[in-house]
Amino acid sequence: MARIVLTTDETLTSTYHDVPLLDFLGCAPYDKLPKWVFRFFDTQLPDENGVLTQAPYGLRKVEAALLRDGFRRDEVVVAHPRKIENFIGNDTTIVALYEMDPLGLGPVSMMFTNGGKWTNYTKVKFLELVERINRIREGKKLDFKLVVGGPGAWQVDFRKEERERLKIDHVVIGEVDHVAGELFREIESGSADETIFIKGWPRVEHIPTIVAPSYKGLVEVMRGCGRGCRFCEPNLRVARYMPLERIEEEIRLNVSAGIDHAWLHSEDVFLYRVEDKKNFYPNAEAVVELFEIARRYTKNVNPTHGAVAGALAVPGMIEEISRIVDAGPAHWIGIQVGFETASPRLIGKYMNNKMKPFSPEEWPWVLLNGTYVLNKNYWFPAYTTILGLPGDTDDDEIMTAQLIITMERELEEKLGNRAHFTVTPLAFVPMGLLKNQEFYQIDEMITYGQFLHLYYAWKHMMREVTRGLPEVMKNNPFLIPFYPLARLGTRIVIRQIEKWGRSRGYEVKPLEPLDIRIEVEEHRWYSQPSLVEAY
């Protein structure tokens, strides 16, 4: 039995057969898909007698902070959610859950569940876990506190009636690295508020180094962003850069545990140790050094997120990273990138630093040319857009659809079969500085322009599944039997979108591409850093 039990729901401990992007299966509607789909793809992380041998990175940070702050190793356990019964007993004071999307209110889930009218898989598994914990508490008449934290904790605080029904004692919102010990002791003593808002952010020296392996070899290289997009909670936080020696220590720990991968996590990897806080011009040498250090330990090095403007500003940086990690036709580098909208007006209104060092008026051009730089160097951007940004118009949304068409045509003309990207529309969720806005409900709010945005994004997705999936399958034979199913699935989605649109009086119409071109070599920004000489 343990004094502090840390765990999470099963969607965050599933490996999904190591299929790229299948982590998003948790956002799918559980009540609309065959149950065998979830069971079949659910492969769980290993454990030793119920203790996770790899764990989500956020759990590892809390664990490390508690051990630093005076809790003994035998008092703190990171438990597999299926085996929490092994660790909860009379000595347990806190069971704390780290959650990403506990009630399905995240942008991906809201999109895939028709604005929350259906129930996504993460919510199903979160509710199952909480109900099991409560049965243990009531069955054994125990007096521990049930606590929910992590990036999705705001959802539990937002839905207070659900929180009361689930008998969740405390919700923690904010970064806890610098106050973990004090916070947990306050909860134990009964002096903590029901909703605990952590004030401020920990300085770099107060963020602990993990002491046990992280899932997928994830390593945090920076926290926060600094670009300050108004709809984005993480990007509003103060940007902090982890020292190279700490990053190296965590990579070494993971690799020594047999994890042959280093996922470099940030909100925007191209802003690592950025010095130009006005124009956000990348510190290319620092970014390249980051990848060089990771490559010493493993050949499998990937970033999680990055901004296309940073890649375009210093294309030589992208080329150099590709050389370091041996990117090529059989080894593509995946990265998640915010496309958001093609509208310069909306970008300037809500994301006026996102396109820097370029201008809002250049944003469509930046997306096209930035994708060219990425594709040319074997980077595969997975873009996300936002449906229902407050104040959007049909012109804004149609421009987004037009840009998708433009990128598809221009990139294929220049790069042929090396042109790859996806665009996934997400529902607007009121976060960051837009908390006073309402959730976007697609079934009730969709306009004609938004319909075309959605349709052309998924039409390109179908094209990418047909052309791009074979490239992915090369490294994962498990996927081969599902290739025909994936092709069929995207065609069904397209037909359903067309049918759904017609029921609202919306017909698909051909759109003209935007009048922009790929002209990387000619742009003014390419003369500054030494790393761009190849261009």
Give the residue from 150, 166, 197 where a domain finishes.
Answer: 197
- Would 208 be classed as within a structural domain? no
Is the Cα dihedral 88, 92, 98, 103 positive or negative?
positive
Same domain, 152 and 263: no
Look-up of token digits 């051990």: 67
Give the residue from 162, 197, 232 where a domain finishes.
Answer: 197
- Would 206 be classed as within a structural domain? no
Q: Kindly state the greatest CA–CA separation across the chain.
A: 71
Same domain, 290 and 411: yes
Write out 23-42 in H/E/C secondary structure: HHHHHCECCCCCHHHHHHHC
Label residue 229 exposed, middle or buried (CB < 10 Å: 0-12, 13-18, 19+).
Answer: buried
405 touches 342 (CB < 8 A): no
Same domain, 228 and 319: yes
User: pLDDT, tens digit, for every residue of 447-495?
Assistant: 999 999 999 999 999 899 887 766 655 666 666 666 676 777 778 888 8
- Would 368 be classed as within a structural domain? yes
* C-alpha torsion 97→258→16→107, nearest 10: 50
How far apart are the C-alpha atoms of 509 and 55, rounded to whole Å? 47
Give the chain's domain count: 2
Is the Cα dihedral 21, 229, 272, 411 positive or negative?
positive
What does the block give as tokens for 371? 């994708």
pLDDT at 461 (0 to 100): 92
Same domain, 260 and 148: no
pLDDT at 459 (0 to 100): 95
Same domain, 185 and 230: no
Same domain, 155 and 224: no
CB neighbour burial string for 329-342, b if at least 16 within 10 angstroms, e if fewer: eeebbbbebbbbbb
Is the Cα dihedral 274, 275, 281, 286 positive or negative?
negative
- Would 504 be classed as within a structural domain? yes
Smallest CA-to-CA distance from 250 within 33, 36, 54, 7 is with 54
Beta carbons within 10 angstroms of residue 109's beta carbon: 30
Query: What is residue 76's three-state secondary structure?
Result: strand
- Would 409 be classed as within a structural domain? yes
Same domain, 181 and 247: no
pLDDT at 232 (0 to 100): 67
- Would 205 be classed as within a structural domain? no
Same domain, 191 and 254: no
Same domain, 168 and 271: no
Query: What is residue 468's three-state secondary structure?
Result: helix
Give the residue from 197, 232, 259 where a domain finishes.
Answer: 197
pTM for this entry:
0.92
How far apart are the C-alpha atoms of 427 and 123, rounded to whole Å? 17
214 touches 60 (CB < 8 A): yes
What's the CATH code of the domain at 322? 3.80.30.20
Same domain, 272 and 384: yes
Give the residue numbers spanning the domain of 188.
4-197
Same domain, 173 and 253: no
pLDDT at 443 (0 to 100): 86
- Low-confidence stretches of the chain (pLDDT < 70) are 20, 230-236, 431-433, 469-483, 485, 521-535
pLDDT at 483 (0 to 100): 65
pLDDT at 234 (0 to 100): 63
- Would 202 be classed as within a structural domain? no
- Would 308 be classed as within a structural domain? yes
Same domain, 346 and 416: yes
